[in-house]
Amino acid sequence: MENKKLCVVGLGYIGLPTSAMFATHGYEVYGVDVNTEVVDALNEGKIVIEEPYLDIMVQAAVRSGHLKADIKPHEADAFIIAVPTPMNEDKTANMDYVVSATEMIVPYLKKGDIVILESTSPTGTVENLLVPILERSGLEVGKDLYVGHSPERVLPGKILWELVNNDRIVGGVNRESAEKIRDLYKIFVNAEIYLTTATTAEMCKMMENTYRDVNIALANELAKICEDTGINSWDVIKFANKHPRVNLHQPGPGVGGHCLAVDPWFIVEKNPDLAKIIRLSRETNESMPTFVSERVEKILDNIKGNTVTILGVTYKPNIDDMRESPIVELIELLKDKDINVKIYDPHVNIENHQYNSMSDAARDSDLLILAVNHDIFKALPLREISETMKQKNILDTRNFLDEKKIKDEGFNYYLLGKGEEIVSPKFDEER
């Protein structure tokens, strides 16, 4: 088998599962990371992130000797760069990690090697940023060195399954590069692998996430309109989606994660005069923590309280990832309004917010805010919570909770995207 040695730079939510996947399929993999805690843990067969079954796969790969970690690269037949591409304060892409990772591997390159950028990047990154750095090796890119971009398309919580079963895009600096990269991924990808140019692949990745961000923005705008109108946006979405060609997304307290909350800005950065809908959608979604904080302020003013307990702080349910989480911003906004905030999230170890149980976290609170729809929150221990709360109020930002059960236990129930001032008549849908 060709290209049996692989070096993966960046052992985060993408690099580590990718390394483990190749290692369990027979490759000798060196994972590289500047974080010594990550490196040391991996060499002991342990992981520092939460992802189903990843710990088992990593342990097996390390025990077999196929997966090792270091703070510097090693010689290999293929190199994958999977480092973060965070935003600068001005909403532009910070490419420092990509530059550093590319420079790190240059001394280890030889004729016939493959270099793949997996990190989500603005259009032109491979052609204009990676290629000039890689050429310092003295190798001719596209002939001696096969270079391209193959973005990940995985969902946290299902990463291992989706690495294998999702279709994949491979963009090369030339066709031969794309074919070499495709053949590398074919060792574990069971789905289709489509070949294109590196720049097209870069735009595909950003647009996949932008599509979702724009549609969520439409739902969030609808939620604001419905609150102002005095109707329930969740009913509007449910019934509108009965149309065979309509698929409205769901509103919420904001959009987080390193993809949806970041990638659209990379398109705006390159085409600021053209990406008008994309910019407005991003601004709409970024406004949601403020919108929720104002709703909370209104609820608390009505009940004369100033303490809230927030359930969930990650950017999506059932994971430990807090990157770009809108709940973090919501917490700061509430604190700025002199509201006391308590946080409970069993997936995350939060300093100064250690509680024995949900009811312990809710003690002396005036309002419970369901911010993240973790499965563990689906069936709230309402009676225990009611015994510790100062006042019995719940704000559901995800339409996740059972309104009837909550009201039956004597709680006031508030729902994001539902107007409170105008009460529409209720109909029995089963009749």
Catalytic residue IDs: 205, 259
- In this structure, are residues 95 and 133 in contact, taking their beta carbons and an 8 Å threshold? no
CA atoms within 13 A on the CB side of 298: 13
- In this structure, are residues 315 and 256 in contact, taking their beta carbons and an 8 Å threshold? yes
The tokens describing 287, both together, are: 């406004």
- In this structure, are residues 150 and 122 in contact, taking their beta carbons and an 8 Å threshold? no
Residue 118 to residue 80: CA distance in whole angstroms: 7
Distances (CA, A) of 295 to 117, 253, 291: 43, 11, 6
Residue 298 to residue 41: CA distance in whole angstroms: 47
- The two counts, helices (H) then strands (E), for the chain are 17, 13
For residue 93, what are the contacts with CB-CB under 8 A and spacing of at least 6?
85, 87, 121, 122, 265, 266, 269
The tokens describing 285, both together, are: 């979604």
The tokens describing 3, both together, are: 């290209």
Identify residue 402 by its one-letter amino acid code. Answer: D
- In this structure, are residues 203 and 232 in contact, taking their beta carbons and an 8 Å threshold? no
Phi, psi of 180, deg, nearest 5? -65, -45
